[in-house]
Each structure stands twice: as structure tokens, then as C-alpha cells.
Amino acid sequence: MNDSIKPTDSELEILQHIWEFGPSTVRQINEALSAKREIGYTTTLKLMQIMASKGILVVDKSERTHIYQAVLKQEETQQQLVDQFLEAAFGGSAKKLVMQVLGNKKPGKRELEEIKVLIAKLEGGES
């Protein structure tokens, strides 16, 4: 049931690009990564091939230029990542993580409003 994945940091960089721009080619991703740091084309290719073999990405090979897309939805993956991070870094306490983030990253007024709305909803929809 619990096929919890564990993308590495490099893999997350790739996922983030796919989340933002949709199914992508090796070249597109390599160009995005190259903007941030030096990385060879075949390095990116290999990373993506490994991600496919792990079942993180799925490949469309119908054309010569392969197209990679994510198997899981962004939200599913992020949820797993949050769960793992919460456990590893905050002993599982969601409250501590939220307080830490709010206290130190200081979101703007508008974002705080959205968060308050969500909290109100959570308190209203009493479980």
C-alpha cells in the first residue's frame, strides 16, 4: 500500500520543472537545470532515465525525442515529502513545523489571510 518514494534533490529539481511546465524532454530540463548550475546533457539524461526506472517518471518513446512526465501528481508527491520531512526533522509535529515556517519566513498579509481562511474552515468543519 505504502509505496513511499524518496526523490533525491536532483530528482526534485527535475520534478519541479515538470510540475511547472508539464511533460518535458531531456533538453528542456537540461536547459532549466543549466541555468542554475553546471550540468552536462548526458548527466540530465541519465538522471531522468534512472527516475523512469524507479517509476518516478514515465517515458513516451513514440518519437525519437522522448518525453518524460511525472507518474504521481505534484500534490501527492509533496504530501509524501512533507510526511517524511515532518518525521525526520520535527519528530512528526505538524504544529512545530508550521510555527517555525510562519515565524521565520514571514509570509505577507495576503498569504496570511489565505491561511486564516483555511484554519477557519478546519475549525468549522469540526471532525
Partner DNA sequence: TAAAAACTACGAAACTTTTCGTAATAAATG
Partner DNA sequence: CATTTATTACGAAAAGTTTCGTAGTTTTTA
Binding residues vs DNA (CB under 7 A): 6, 8-11, 25-27, 37-43, 45-47, 49-50, 61, 64-66
Near its own copies by CB under 8 A: residue from 52, 59, 67, 86: 86
Q: How far is the C-alpha of 107 from the C-alpha of 12, rounded, in Å?
A: 24
Q: Which residues pair with 59 in a beta bridge?
A: 68
How far is C-alpha 65 from the geometric centre of its chain's CA atoms?
24
Near its own copies by CB under 8 A: residue from 42, 43, 53, 79: 79
**Stretch of 7-15, 26-34, 45-53, 59-67 contacting its own copies, by CB under 8 A:** 7-15
- Provide the 3-class DSSP secondary structure of residue 5: coil
Closest contact distance (angstroms) between CB of 89 and its own copies is: 5
Nearer to DNA, 4 or 127 (CB): 4
* Nearest one of 63, 67, 62, 75 to 19, comparing CA atoms: 75
Closest contact distance (angstroms) between CB of 45 and its own copies is: 21
* Cell representation of residue 65: 525525442
Q: How far is the C-alpha of 60 from the C-alpha of 43, rounded, in Å?
A: 19
* Among DNA, its own copies, none, partner that 124 touches (CB below 5 to 8 angstroms by kind): none
